[in-house]
Amino acid sequence: MERSALYRRALAPIMTFAGLIGITAAVLGVFLRIESQTGFIGYWLSVAVIGIAGAFLLVRRQALKSAESFWSPPTRRVAQALLPPLTVGLFVGLCTFTKCLSLHKPGSNDDAGDLFWMTAVWAVFYGCALHSAGFSVSRGLRLFGWLFIAVGIGVLFSIIFLMRAELSAFPWKNSHWLMAGIFGVLHLAYGIYLYVTGEERSEL
């Protein structure tokens, strides 16, 4: 996908898919009552893997349909830009998972509401990944990355300075709904925007 306009065509279904996955996963997480901290982290990391795999298949299908090379130089640049922030986000998730696992004792509090902050941290790292990839894709994707960063920082600021409440006061469902709002609704809205606005202008 060498031309800039093709990125919009590729991004629209990927963002829509990611949004639907995020919303569906949150609803399913609440329905299945995934309320423990380790369960929350493991569940959403699994959802992330599914989302990445789905995006990979969508891009591959578009490349085959257009008779283009999938692993082209621009695609490699995007992957290389995404990798560092996503790796750090994965590392934070795994470290927190290990910590929660080691601290959990029978009868102790193990509510996913305590991890309300983790969704915000993941949003910040993901926004950094999108912003980095945007230099090889479009200005719009960089702005979208900044939106994730701003929302993540806003949530963290609210927890630390405004809410003035113990994290244990947050019901476990709220962590799932926050994931739906950030990673579901934002992706879906951007995907719809890309579909509605049509071909990307060359200056983006």
What pLDDT, on the 0 to 100 scale, is given for residue 119?
93
Rounded to the nearest integer, the mean pLDDT of the chain is: 84
What pLDDT, on the 0 to 100 scale, is given for residue 107?
47
- Residues 24-33: what's their mean pLDDT? 95
What pLDDT, on the 0 to 100 scale, is given for residue 13?
92
Higher pLDDT, 20 or 115: 20
Q: Is 42 a residue whose pLDDT tops 70?
A: yes
Write out the two tokens for 191. Answer: 């995907």
What pLDDT, on the 0 to 100 scale, is given for residue 104?
65
What pLDDT, on the 0 to 100 scale, is given for residue 14?
92
What pLDDT, on the 0 to 100 scale, is given for residue 99?
87
